[in-house]
Amino acid sequence: MSDSDDDGPKAEETEEDAEMKKLLAGFVDETGGDDDDSDSSDSESGEEAREIDLEDNVLDHVVLAAADFESALEEFTEKTGVAPKIAGAIKGLGIKTARVSFEGSSYLEIIAPDPKSGGPIGNLLKASGISGLKPFHWAIRNERAEPLKDEVNKFGYTPDHISMFGAKEDGTPRKWEMLYLYGHKMGGIAPFYINWANSDHPCETMPIVGDLIGVKVTAPSDDPVHKLIAHTESGGFSLEEGDASFELKFDSPEGEITYESTKMVGFRFPGFEDECGPVDGEEPEMPEFVMPAMPELLPVETGDYEDIPATEG
């Protein structure tokens, strides 16, 4: 997919590019653009923001996913004692989002299908057969998200760099960008990268649930994620060799909380279906039907049947 901010001939824009721009337009609703959906955001104008130190090249956020938005918020609130703040409805993707911050500059995002609008990520969550809140994907904050798109190919990844544009409450323009990685079968266990550029960071206005104790990512020794993280030298989490798994631990008013998964679905956008493996809950593709081979016939002895009496009746 071409970057939405790339300079180049208009003729090079594909139908895929145009479709992606339509999907991403929904992000504007989340950040204060025109939106006639009264529950797309509960943020208040002029909200006081806390100061945070946005260290670069570290864990930015973890995404938890659920099948139902309201149930997910209730589950998290009951489990932690802190109610996430609704961030908005990303209409183009078919999801609703809510967030809660850790102490410092990393946060947790909850996503679930939006019953009012369909979209590729909402449909993906429905297909996954997910139950309860489960780790879905995770992001590394990195100012080099754009140049990284030209470096990840050597590790076998297919890059998908997306630049986003919006406006702050005072009308000043803002930009942020993401780099998603395909061409692997690890789903959301492989990270994506995000650069907030001149945008406000969600941690500034989100409720704080507690300290982040740690994020542990485990991947087979031959998986390219090890070379990727060694290349970017990212921190704020641990990466170990072993069977694929993801573990998040943090403090809350209700004590220590753990979310873990051995298979995270991860964001995947239209145009990259062939780059990803199946998700949990998807019906496996039926193999092509092949007629079974005829069984080998046993040899039949031949003889003289003239002496066999005829059967009466």
At 129, is the pLDDT very low, low, confident or very high (cuts 50, 70, 90)?
confident
At 13, is the pLDDT very low, low, confident or very high (cuts 50, 70, 90)?
very low
Residue 91 clears pLDDT 60, i.e. is over it: yes
At 274, is the pLDDT very low, low, confident or very high (cuts 50, 70, 90)?
low
At 15, is the pLDDT very low, low, confident or very high (cuts 50, 70, 90)?
low
Residues 6+ away with beta carbon under 8 Å from 50:
203, 204, 205
Query: 144 or 131, which is more confident?
Result: 144
Q: What is the pLDDT of residues 275-307, one digit of tens each?
A: 565 554 433 333 333 334 444 555 545 445 444
The listed range with the strongest mean pLDDT (26-40, 181-195, 281-295) is 181-195
Q: What does the pLDDT read at residue 38? A: 36
CA neighbor of 95 nearest in space, from 111, 81, 76, 108: 111
| Fold (topology level) of 10-210+264-275 | 2,3-Dihydroxybiphenyl 1,2-Dioxygenase; domain 1 (3.10.180)
Residue 6 clears pLDDT 80, i.e. is over it: no
Q: Find the mean pLDDT for residues 138-163.
A: 96
Q: Are strands 58-65 and 107-113 parallel, antiparallel or unpaired?
A: parallel
Q: Give the separation between CA 85 and CA 256, rounded to whole angstroms.
A: 20
Residue 42 clears pLDDT 50, i.e. is over it: no
Of the given ranges (25-29, 38-42, 51-55, 306-310), which has the lowest mean pLDDT? 38-42
With helix as H, strand as E and coil as C, how does 97-134 read? EEEEEECCCCEEEEEEECCCCCCHHHHHHHHHCCCCCE
Average pLDDT, the chain: 81
Q: What does the pLDDT read at residue 281? A: 42
* Paired residues of 164 in beta bridges: 176
Q: Find the mean pLDDT for residues 181-199.
A: 95
- The SS3 of residue 11 is helix
At 128, is the pLDDT very low, low, confident or very high (cuts 50, 70, 90)?
confident
